[in-house]
Structure 1
Amino acid sequence: MAVTTRPSLVRDPRGTRSTIALKLLMATSGVLFIAFVLGHMYGNLKAFGGEEKFNDYAEHLREIGEPLLPYGGLLWIIRVGLIAALVVHVASAVALARRAGRARTTKYVARKYTKSAISSRTMRWGGATLLVFLIWHLLNFTIVKVDVSNGDTGVKNPYELMVANFEVWWLTIIYLVAMVALGLHLHHGTWSSLQTLGLTNSVAARTRAKLAGWVVAVVVAGGFSLVPVSVLLGIIEK
């Protein structure tokens, strides 16, 4: 008599290990991004100190490490590291999404989201939105340095570039929508990272992880939003 094995109970140890590895890569790269956006947000808030302080801060970033590093050397190290982390993060997310799709053999007639937060349901689309926004943001403020208000490129003054762009109301709206997407992504991403790293093994730990997700989301998204809103309202001006 032949013995059959139920397919649902068959496990692939190598597949399980690689899935865990992908989740760890996503978690660690996500933590790097959280550290970066916190530092970037702090720098943006220098705008409230006026043009001189903001530009001095921008220039100081390029001088860090001299003469051991060339002018702007540390910034390029950070950029390359962030690009590598972004590639790892996106590739891991795509691989995990494909695995989840293959594992789901039965399509649901109706989906029920009663127990899932909006931040978890929008992770994929939110991540794609942020990727598109990031490309535009780099072109706008770092690579091409486009002054959208008059079409100039290569603007040298960081403060003037920032103010000129955020005085354009539709660009500010786009930026704020992106910050909502960032907040949602950070909320669920923080929780998921802590869970993957094994820091949610108790009720108290899960509560702290959820709180951490909200704190990171509100602080980062709110902090980034303060500057464009203040420019649009005339609080920060040339």
Structure 2
Amino acid sequence: MTRTVWDSSLGKKTVMAVSGLIMLLYLVVHMLGNLKIFFGPGEFNHYAHWLRTLGEPFLHYEWALWIIRVVLVVAVVAHATAAYQLSRRDIRARPSGYVHKKKRATYATRTMRWGGIILGLFIVWHILDLTTGTVHPDGFQAGHPYQNVIDTFSTWYGDTVYIVALLALGLHIRHGFWSAAQTLGAGSRSRDRALKIVANVLALVLTAGFLAVPVGVMTGLVS
């Protein structure tokens, strides 16, 4: 039964919708945490340390953080797998008479596909930059997240990578939230306008909230 549900297009869309909402919830919390950087290094570093002690003493040090990471990895993999399989299914179902690119895919579909690829690559970069420090400029300092963020956004390429990824994120959220609402049955004629407004507001707020950090460093507001 489970396999039958997964094999159907509706099942894959449902997986994408649920996993997307899980990631969206995380992004809202993550953005709010990031904005603590405007309150200074003490506040931001304390927040980063609190994440590692979350759930103590019931949970051991960093256990809650690792649980969150595992849930996110599962959500990302499920989301990407379902999206890829739906994309391949859509390509196979297209009439052979479609020649022009505009007829083969809508703007929203192309945006979601390329945006998904950009975000997938960005997740890898983000981990290597601010989690492991592998590609971090000027030496990664474990236990000093405030300074690591300053270092990252003090380089032109660091700013470029994050800004491009965040713009792609905004477009992805705008269309993704709407699609998830339709898939999960929340859409209707009476609610469509409200859902579109919510999708636009979410995309705008999250994009602006995440962009505030690199812009703050670039302008010297955060230093």
Flag whether TM exceeds 0.5 (same fold). Answer: yes
Cα distance in 1 for partners of 2:46, 2:28 equals: 19
Residue 217 to residue 170, structure 1, CA distance change in 2 (3 Å): same
State the SS of the aligned residue for 1:143: coil
Residues 112 and 231 from structure 1, CA distance in 2 versus in 1: closer, same or farther, beyond 3 angstroms?
Answer: same
Please state whether the residue corresponding to 1:182 is helix, strand or coil: helix
Distance apart, 1:21 and its partner CA: 0.7
Summarize the Cα distance change of 1:51–1:172 in structure 2 as closer, same or farther, 3 Å threshold. same
Residue in structure 2 matching 1:169, options 137, 156, 172: 156
Question: What pairs with 1:42-57 in structure 2 (closer than 5 Å)?
Answer: 42-57=32-47
Aligned-partner residue type, residue 115 of structure 2: G
| Deviation of the 1:64 alpha carbon | 1.1
Identity of aligned residues (%): 41
How far apart, CA to CA, are the structure 1 residues paired with 2:98 and 2:146? Answer: 51
Deviation at 1:155, TM superposition (A): 3.2
Match of 2:8, SS state, is helix
Using the size of structure 2 for normalisation, the TM-score is 0.92
Unmatched runs of 5 consecutive residues or more in structure 2: none
SS at match of 2:113: helix
Equivalent residue number for residue 178 of structure 1: 165
Q: Note the 1:8-87 alignment, pairs <5 A.
A: 18-87=8-77
Over the aligned positions, Cα root-mean-square deviation in angstroms equals 1.9
Distance 1:107 1:153, change over 3 A: farther
Q: 1:142-188 deviations in whole A, cap 9, x for unaligned?
A: 1236531x2x1353200010011111122112211111100000100
Q: Distance in 2 between matches of 1:173 and 1:15?
A: 41
What's the CA shift string for 1:65-110, capped at 9, x where partnerless?
1111110110000000100111110110011111111111324222
Please state how far the C-alpha of 1:57 moved relative to its aligned partner: 0.5
What residue identity is the alignment partner of 1:226? A
What secondary structure does 1:83 align onto? helix
1:217 is matched with 203
**CA separation in 2, counterparts of 1:157 and 1:15?**
46
Task: Decide which structure has the larger Cα Rg and report it.
Answer: 1
| Pair 44,107 (structure 1): closer, same or farther in 2 beyond 3 Å | farther
CA distance in 2, matches of 1:61, 1:16: 34
> Taking structure 1 as the reference length, what is the TM-score of the superposition?
0.86
Letter in 1 for 2:147: E
| Structure 1 gap ranges (5+) | 1-13
Tell me how far 1:230 sits from its aligned partner. 0.7
Q: Secondary structure at the match of 2:171?
A: helix
Q: Number of residues paired by the alignment?
A: 219
**Cα distance in 2, alignment partners of residues 35 and 172 from structure 1:** 24
